[in-house]
A and B are shown apart, each in its own frame.
Chain A
């Protein structure tokens, strides 16, 4: 019997769902509200030099890669399965659109992170 590839997508869904449930709200609060407004964090935290320092660090790269890609795979998997509930046939078109976008985002973040050396 051919091995199913479903566990891989479910694992990525679970990992992204867990990561976003644990720290997603705080990430949005930090990068989208606290840092831009300088509330609770230094006002220059979003300066070019600061952010570049963060991304130059391998730990910073790893954090960004994990957050971006796992969030994308989590969302792609969930949207793919919900399309069926909305009466949209979850066939190959939907599969390629959903998982293809996540894959494109994964490649893009990998290339960008390597470019910012």
Chain B
């Protein structure tokens, strides 16, 4: 066993010192919300596979105040994810050049948010018609 104890600069909480990195951690944290929602859907599927009584219990849970509160929080997390996803998109896309000019970052963000709004309205209308 080596007795050497090389100095390591402490890094715990490094991101708390700079608002830019705090935002980075928060937007990375939206992954927890996305995972939680996927697990809720999976739980619903599990209940549905077990039969009508199990499904009714799951539906009753969805109507309970804790679930409504949880989904309210999830909704905020997802809205933040939508905003940050399209806010970062200009930096994650390869440069798009149209008639010799590079598309402005703000244009990409706005187009993404508009697409999200459009897709959401379409989804709601489909759900309403199908239900």
Query: Interface extent on B, as a size class?
Result: 35 or more
Q: How far is the CB of B79 from chain A (nearest CB, A)?
A: 5
A17 to B48, CA, bound (A): 27
Among residues 10 to 40 in chain A, which have CB atoms less than 8 Å away from a CB atom of chain B? 16-18, 20-33, 35-37, 40
Q: Contact at B42–A105, with CB atoms within 8 Å?
A: yes
Q: Contact at A71–B35, with CB atoms within 8 Å?
A: yes
Q: Contact at B38–A67, with CB atoms within 8 Å?
A: yes
User: Which stretch, A1-9, A48-56, A89-97, touches the partner chain B?
Assistant: A48-56
Q: Contact at A46–B62, with CB atoms within 8 Å?
A: yes
Q: Contact at A22–B116, with CB atoms within 8 Å?
A: yes
Q: A41-B128, A55-B48 are in contact. Are A24 and B42 (CB under 8 A)?
A: no
Query: Interface extent on A, as a size class?
Result: 35 or more
Q: Contact at B120–A68, with CB atoms within 8 Å?
A: no
Secondary structure of the A contact surface, majority rule? helix
Q: Contact at B56–A116, with CB atoms within 8 Å?
A: no
A54 to B70, CA, bound (A): 24
Q: Contact at B52–A32, with CB atoms within 8 Å?
A: no
Q: Can you list, as one digit per residue, whether each of B25-63 has a CB less than 8 Å from chain A (1) or not (0)?
A: 100110110110111111011101100100110010011
Q: Which of B12, B35, B42, B81 contacts A109 (CB 8 A)?
A: B42
- Residues of A contacting B124 in the complex (Cβ-Cβ under 8 angstroms): 26, 30, 40
Q: Contact at B46–A112, with CB atoms within 8 Å?
A: yes
Q: Contact at B49–A24, with CB atoms within 8 Å?
A: no
Q: Which of B31, B59, B79 contacts A75 (CB 8 A)?
A: B31
Question: What are some 8 contacts across the A-B interface (CB < 8 A)?
Answer: A16-B34, A20-B82, A24-B78, A30-B123, A33-B68, A41-B131, A50-B131, A75-B34
New A-B pairs, 20, CB < 8 Å, besides A75-B35, A81-B28: A24-B78, A25-B75, A26-B120, A30-B124, A30-B127, A31-B41, A32-B67, A32-B75, A33-B71, A36-B62, A40-B128, A42-B131, A45-B131, A48-B55, A51-B44, A68-B38, A79-B35, A82-B25, A105-B39, A105-B42
